[in-house]
Amino acid sequence: MQGEKITVEILGREGLARIGRFRTAHGVINTPNIMPVINPNINTMSIDAMKRAGMTCLITNSYIIRRSPALREKALRDGLHSLIGFDGPIMTDSGTFQSYVYGDVEFQNRDTVEFQLNIGSDISTILDIFSTPDDTWNKAEDAVKMTAERFAEVDDLAETHDISGPIQGSIYPDLRKISASLMSSGKASYLPIGGVVPLLEQYRYAELVDIIINSKLNSDFSKPIHLFGGGHPMFMGMAVLLGVDMFDSASYVKYAKDDRMLYPEGTRDLKDIMELPYWSPLRGRYTAEELRKEPADSRKSLIAVHNLAAIYMELSEIRERIHEQTLWQYVEARSRSHPALFEAFKRILLYSGKIEKYVELYRKPPFMAFDDLSMMSPYASRVRNIKGSGEYVDATAYYSYGMGLSEKFIKEIYEKTQDKYSIMWGDIEIPVELEESYPVQQSIFAKNMLNSPKKYLNRGESTLRNYNLEKIRFLADYQFGAGSGKNLFPDSCQIMVSRSTGRIRTIEDAGKILATMRVHDGYLALTMEGGERIMKNSPGMKNRVMVMDESATFNAQGKSVFFNFILDCDMDIIPYNEVLVVDPSDNLVAVGKALTSGIEMKQYRKGVAVIINHHRK
């Protein structure tokens, strides 16, 4: 592709998972998505049939095309898209996998890439070095270095064309980090994770979690992440949860050859099937028995249609889950369908601390807690360490889920003592001031996870503090940094509460509104006056998104902040938290909601980064 290089525009998110899109010379690709593998020598399904199943992009092998004189001549004369008979985006592989399976290929790296460009590939691939799960660390390291060197050989071509830089490193997380960093810092505009097919075939999903997460977190977020060969529906949701955008697979054909049919939770043999599922495009046309009686070639083509439908159905479900922000819950439930998936899900939980910074401050749906593993998710890990030092008194007896703290506790106990109080949220002890904020109040627990109080409460005599004031100060410290609470909310501030619910609505001082408490998540939303006060307690870039003067003029009128106008930002910003939008002179022009983490803000180049809520008029 000549001209603008591939860059992801984010349209929806849940943690590392994202709904996005990127443009190629032959059209836009919406993600998450899959590129079915097309063998130009074998016509199992027609292109029209594949498009009806949901195909919008595909991948084919340039090595196979180049080795066949007839295919090579037609591709060079008429172009790759004419050869395949498809007018949408086409990616080409280089022959690396064939080299791994059959031995060295007869072509060199640079001329392999040049051939792909000459036939009009939208996304070309270098001839990288395939690492196997059995490789030693030293051998895998050599493959990482050689793959990086091979990409350097085509740096000049990558200036104007989209060339993928595969991330290698075998099963070694440290090598995956190095490879991802090397490919992200170079001119590769597309990042496939390679060398994973043997692990997928052996159901070694836990090791795949290590590979994907270490590749993703060390990659440029503006570039698509592709899992080579990862086309089985049962693992796709988990891969997307970890940040994979694209897949490719020949599984729809490969399984069909053996009379195996894909389902969202696994694979079934046709001989064991009593009834075709209601979603299968074959249902109504064939019974399982009639399908078994079809001639081998016809049966293979029909099962391939079913298999492709299973893949696109799962991708549709995944995209919908991201849209409604229930992908984590979906993957957690799905992980119980196979021991290998369950082990992989438990491996993901070990990375909760690293994933946490990309997880939104709140989600639209409630937090679902099924068992102790649920309480290890990044949504729970964020509040696990909120409780500071010192002795806390357990107030769980005065707290009920959905109702909050009792008025008796607030007036007769909390406000008449200086003690620190906590409640049990599942197995996590948290300060009482977080009672209304996500995910504490917005959660649904299995009954066996509810806890009883641990300690007896001592009652004070006279009123020493105001609970609502302590709560909003606690939330300000949590959202904007230690010390923000007292700076934002002095003793003189007035707290307005709802007459019907008694919950905090607005906070004012000297006749000016400083913040409101959001109903949907229990966190603070700042006004411009509140933003100015936060700035006084926020040195450097803390809580800030700095934009160009050109953007600041529009943001001061209430228009959103776009990624390509950002000069700098606080790297610790978390998605959906309040941020301060400032000009290059550090003048506050607006406050709003960040749509990504600070790390992502510095990498994305397309789309909206901050939605403005209040602005300087």
Which tens digits make up the pLDDT trace of 115-167? 999 999 999 999 999 899 999 999 999 999 999 999 999 999 999 999 999 99
Report which residue type is found at 261.
M
The 10s digit of each residue's pLDDT in 510-540 is 999 999 999 889 999 999 999 999 999 899 9
Q: Is 18 left (phi over 0), alpha (psi -120 to 50) or beta?
A: beta
Euclidean distance between CA atoms 130 and 144, whole angstroms: 9
Catalytic residue annotation: 93
pTM for this model (two decimals): 0.93
Q: Residue 555 pLDDT > 70, yes or no?
A: yes
Predicted confidence band of residue 2 (pLDDT cuts 50, 70, 90): low
CA 524 to chain centre: 25
Output the pLDDT for position 102.
54
Domains of the chain listed by start with CATH number? 9-250 (3.20.20.105), 354-465 (no CATH), 478-615 (2.30.130.10)
Q: Which whole number is the average pLDDT over 587-597? A: 97
Q: Which whole number is the average pLDDT over 78-89? A: 96
Output the pLDDT for position 100.
58
Q: Residue 388 pLDDT > 90, yes or no?
A: no
Cβ(177)–Cβ(139) under 8 Å?
A: no
DSSP string for residues in 402-445: TTEE-HHHHHHTGGG---EEEEEETTEEEEGGGTTSTTTSSEEE
Euclidean distance between CA atoms 110 and 82, whole angstroms: 24
DSSP string for residues in 547-600: E-HHHHHHHTTTPPEEGGGEEEE-TT--TTSEEEEE-TT--EEEEEEESS-HHH
Query: 90-102: b or e for each residue (b if 16 or more CB lie within 10 Å)?
Result: bbbbbbbbbbbee
Q: Residue 560 pLDDT > 50, yes or no?
A: yes
Three-state secondary structure call for residue 167: strand
Output the pLDDT for position 458.
54
Euclidean distance between CA atoms 596 and 573, whole angstroms: 8
Which positions ≥6 away from 18 have C-beta within 8 Å? Answer: 8, 10, 11, 12, 31, 243, 245, 322
Q: Residue 342 pLDDT > 90, yes or no?
A: yes
CA 325 to chain centre: 11
Euclidean distance between CA atoms 239 and 220, whole angstroms: 17
Average pLDDT, rounded, for the chain: 93
Backbone angles phi, psi at 20, to 5 degrees: -145, -175
The 10s digit of each residue's pLDDT in 85-110 is 999 999 999 987 666 555 666 788 99
Predicted confidence band of residue 448 (pLDDT cuts 50, 70, 90): low
For residue 606, give the DSSP letter: B
Detail the DSSP E strand segments found in 206-278.
Answer: 225-227, 246-249, 260-263, 266-269
Three-state secondary structure call for residue 86: coil
Give 576 or 519, the one with higher predicted confidence: 576
